[in-house]
Structure 1
Amino acid sequence: MISTTIKSFIQADLASVWHSVTSLYDYSWRSDIKDIEVSDERHFKEISHEGYVTCFTITVLKPFLKYSFLMDNENFSGEWTGHFRQAGNGTEIIFTESIKLKKWWLYPFACFYLRIQQKRYIADLKRKCEQA
């Protein structure tokens, strides 16, 4: 299993950051996805601009503290967990993603890919939450 963690500070209140991350309907700020299809309160699918579909099952939803879900697509399965904490005039976030690859030839690229995805997500989230 491959695991990466990213920690960041966002200059926005905890509620704004939490709602941005957990909303399945307001995702226009995300540069990595084209659409989200919601099945029910615990299951949804994200469709990337390239057409990849990833299925999600929410496993933990502790408002303003922790958000976690299982992920599965044709290339990997795994878990993502986000921890949230009010810190001064902003919000501290810690996101951890752990995946198991389904194709052996993806292993040399997986850690690099995850880190790029995490940085992109954080940059998008900061743009969304820190805008005046």
Structure 2
Amino acid sequence: MAVSNIKALIPGELHKVWDFVLDIENYAAWRSDLSKTVVISDRQFIEYTKDGYPTTFTVTLVEPYRRWEFDMENSNMTGHWTGVFTAKGSETEIDFTEQVEAKKLLMKPFVKSYLRKQQTQFVADIRKALGGLYPLSPDL
């Protein structure tokens, strides 16, 4: 199983950043890697890449304004994502960890670098949408 973590400071107070990141229906408006999202229920949604490739997400934990977790699965992988949000004055520290298992043996060597790329893009898209520029602090 590959594990990847990224921490970053995001401009904006905790409630604003939390509400923004959890507004799944509007992901396609600011996420550079997605064509659309479909909300199935308050616990499940599907993201579609620009090429139309779906990934299903099932929310497993919501601690409002603190922690959000979900399982994720598509034809290539299965995994779990944990997001921790912490107020830091007028900013919010995000701490996102993904644990992923490749379903195909040939993909296993590339999973960690793929996760790192996805996490970095997700944080960059959040920053761009919220109008701030802060350095990333990925934990290798």
Q: Residue deviations 1:18-73, cap 9 Å, x none?
A: 11111121211101111111111101111111121000100111111000000000
Offset of residue 130 of structure 1: 2.7
TM-score computed with the length of structure 2 as normaliser = 0.90
Let me know the Cα RMSD of the aligned residues.
Answer: 1.0
Q: Which runs of 5+ in 2 are unaligned?
A: 133-140
Give the SS at the match of 2:25.
coil
Percent pairwise identity = 39
CA distance in 2 between counterparts of 1:69 and 1:13 reads 23
Give the SS at the match of 1:16.
helix
CA distance in 2 between counterparts of 1:25 and 1:110 reads 27
CA distance in 2 between counterparts of 1:127 and 1:60 reads 27
Give the SS at the match of 1:26.
helix
**Which residue identity does 2:69 align to in structure 1?**
S
Q: Residue deviations 1:82-102, cap 9 Å, x none?
A: 000100220001000001110
Offset of residue 12 of structure 1: 1.1
Offset of residue 103 of structure 1: 0.4
**Which residue identity does 1:78 align to in structure 2?**
G
Aligned 1:16-95 pairs, distance under 5 A: 16-27=16-27, 28-95=29-96
Q: Which runs of 5+ in 1 are unaligned?
A: none
Which consecutive aligned stretches of 4+ in structure 1 deviate over 6 angstroms post-superposition? none
Contact 2:2 2:99 in 1 (8 A): yes
Offset of residue 128 of structure 1: 1.3
Q: How many residues end up aligned between the 2 structures?
A: 131
